[in-house]
Amino acid sequence: MAETAKLTLGDKTYELPIHVGTENERSIDITNLRAETGYITHDPGYGNTGSCLSAITFIDGEKGILRYRGIPIEELAEKSTFLEVAYLLIVGNLPKAGELSTFTESIRRHTMIHEDFKAFFGALPKDAHPMASCSAAVGALSTFYPDSLDPRDQRQVEISIHRTLAKFPTLAAYAYKHSIGQPFMYPKNSLDYVGNFLYMMFGNPCEEYEVDPVIEKAIDLLLILHADHEQNCSTSSVRLVGSSKVNIFGAISAGINALWGPLHGGANQQVIEMLAAIRDEGVTGREFVERAKTRNDTSRLMGFGHRVYKNFDPRAKIIKKACFDVLDKLGVHSKMLEIAVELEEIALKDDYFVERKLYPNVDFYSGVIYNAIGTPSNMFTALFALGRMPGWIAQWSELHRDTEFKIGRPRQTYIGEPLTAYTPIAER
Ligand code: ACO
């Protein structure tokens, strides 16, 4: 007999079905809870709420395990490429050689954006944060491509997915070029996905730009590591917004905004600014860690802690190693890296961090690499968004194929005023 949970409310006992995941994770199905009992659940921050059954990404936060479609992140990081991982996440399996080249060619051919995007970016203030520009630009794709907006039409969905993946690097690079007042660089489709992005970011029309293979490989790796992370804040935003059956561009635009926040992807910018402040203000690592522990001080140790990982974030381990490799190959000496290593060592031995199981997360070392290759700190989170794109797309697609599909609509427990009569303005 299938496993169930028993819930007793007053003198009545209810049986609730239990879902058992591939890795033996268990969730109590409360789909009919309110209808049968009149009760709802209370779970601020959704720390105990499973919002879906998903076959995309598996995380075991206690053991520090991350897998995409069953494949360990360590193997993908070592053997795969970002576009192959994107295919894996979106389609569900590793592509055969022919499938990968068809997919890659389609992405390669969709990189150009409508010429009117120049006017679009031109209308934004120069100091606009690139994440705001990127979110607006992805939302605006829906205005340029009204022929691929219907989430129920498979052909339109496929085209919109390829457009999103292919055009986002161009949009992100345009956002950056606009902020520094340089001409936009058209994509050069003889280059690979990451090389093309680097070219549009760092090239200019006056000089030849050669993609450095060390940098290209490092960014490709970082994109793989950021490609999906199950039901985090931005992905849940994509799913929630997408559940209204809005088009994919609108849903992903919402995800970009969610990612921007400093408690989520925006932490990568905060980390490098924290490291720079420590370097420039002469604060010692020990002093900073003490400050991060103080409740009345707002400075947390950015890039530390995670809702799910209560052990090392496997991505952080890979990025730390890559950080040393890349900086070594580029011949860069980074004071920021030294400070980061010192902070990590202090925090990992400190009771406060040990008791709360706070470890470096994906954002702790990534910024050091971005910084070493000359990326301005306000573009870090846009690079995260570039990496997360296949995950958002895969999760959006899975949502629309879900047989349990429903518009997302949490409930609440109302704690405001009871029934109150309207007071005319003269009597208030
Ligand atoms: N520095 C200092 N203290 C911390 C930190 C930190 N980085 N992170 C958590 N804590 C403390 C909290 O103050 C809290 O202490 P308390 O129990 O005494 O009140 C305890 O650890 C638990 O923290 P919560 O905020 O309740 O944990 P939650 O799961 O809600 O938050 C989060 C996770 C948001 C990632 C948090 O650890 C944080 O703010 N980290 C810094 C920001 C960051 O790096 N975000 C990126 C996360 S990875 C990603 O989204 C891509």
Residue nearest to atom 19 of ligand 1 (CA): 295
Q: Is the pLDDT of residue 1 over 70?
A: no
Nearest CA to ligand 1 atom 8: 305
Centre of ligand 1 from the C-alpha of residue 347, in Å: 13
The H or E element containing residue 180 is helix 154-180
pLDDT band at 103; cut points 50, 70, 90: very high
Ligand 1, residue 232: give the atom nearest the CA: 50
Task: Verify whether ligand 1 is closer than 6 Å to residue 320 (CB atom).
Answer: no
Ligand 1 atom with the smallest distance to the CA of 264 is 50
Q: What is the mean pLDDT of the chain?
A: 95
Q: Whose CA is nearest to atom 26 of ligand 1?
A: 307
Pocket perturbation via mutation, ligand 1, pick of 236, 304, 309, 348 by most ligand atoms within 8 A of CB: 304
Residue 172: what pLDDT? 98
Average pLDDT over residues 2-31: 96
In angstroms, what is the span from residue 69 Cα to ligand 1's centroid?
Answer: 28
pLDDT surpassing 70 at residue 155: yes
304 pocket-lining for ligand 1 (C-beta < 6 Å): yes
pLDDT at 2 over 90: no
Kindly give the distance from the C-alpha atom of residue 304 to the centroid of ligand 1, in angstroms, as a whole number: 7
pLDDT given at position 297: 65
- Determine which of 85-89, 373-377, 382-386 has the lowest per-residue pLDDT on average: 373-377
Per-residue confidence (pLDDT) for residue 111, from 0 to 100: 98
Please return the burial class of 98, using the count of CB atoms within 10 Å of its CB with bins 0-12, 13-18 and 19+.
exposed
Which residue lies with its CA nearest to atom 37 of ligand 1?
Answer: 305
Region 146-153 average pLDDT: 93
* Residue nearest atom 28 in ligand 1 by C-alpha distance: 307
Strand runs (DSSP E) across 63-167, as ranges? 65-68, 71-72
- The preferred substitution site among 62, 346, 361 for testing ligand 1, maximizing ligand atoms within 8 Å of CB, is 361
Query: How far is ligand 1, taken at its centre, from the CA of residue 285, in Å?
Result: 19
Nearest to 102 by CA among 91, 113, 115, 118: 91
Flag whether pLDDT at 383 surpasses 80: yes
- Is 235's C-beta closer than 6 angstroms to any atom of ligand 1? no
- Tell the residue number behind the tokens 């069953």, with chain if given: 70
- Confirm or reject: Cβ of 306 under 6 Å from ligand 1: yes
* Positive or negative torsion for Cα 396, 402, 407, 408: negative
The rounded Å distance from CA 306 to ligand 1 centre is: 6
415's CB contacts (< 8 A; 6+ apart) are: none
Ligand 1 atom closest to Cα of 364?
A: 44
The CB of 300 under 6 Å from ligand 1? The reply is yes
162 lines ligand 1 (CB under 6 A): no
Is residue 253 exposed (0-12), middle (13-18) or buried (19+ Cβ within 10 Å)? buried
Say whether pLDDT at 402 is over 70.
yes
Look at residue 119 and tell me whether its pLDDT is greater than 90. Answer: yes
| Residues labelled as active-site residues | 306, 363
pLDDT in tens, 44-96: 999 999 999 999 999 999 999 999 999 999 999 999 999 999 999 999 999 99
For residue 237, the CA-to-ligand 1 centroid distance in Å is 20
- Report how far residue 402's alpha carbon sits from residue 409's, in angstroms, rounded to the nearest whole number: 16
Mean pLDDT score, 292-299: 78
Ligand 1 atom 22: the closest Cα is on which residue? Answer: 356
300, 312, 348, 351, best to mutate for ligand 1 pocket (most atoms within 8 Å of CB): 300
Q: Say how many C-beta atoms besides its own lie within 10 A of residue 80's C-beta.
A: 21
| Predicted TM-score (pTM) of this structure | 0.96
Question: What tens digit of pLDDT does each residue of 332-363 get?
Answer: 999 999 999 999 999 999 999 999 999 999 99
What mean pLDDT comes out for the span 267-283? 91
Give the total residue count for the chain: 428
Q: How confident is the model at residue 283 (pLDDT cuts 50, 70, 90)?
A: confident
DSSP strand E in 61-106: where?
65-68, 71-72
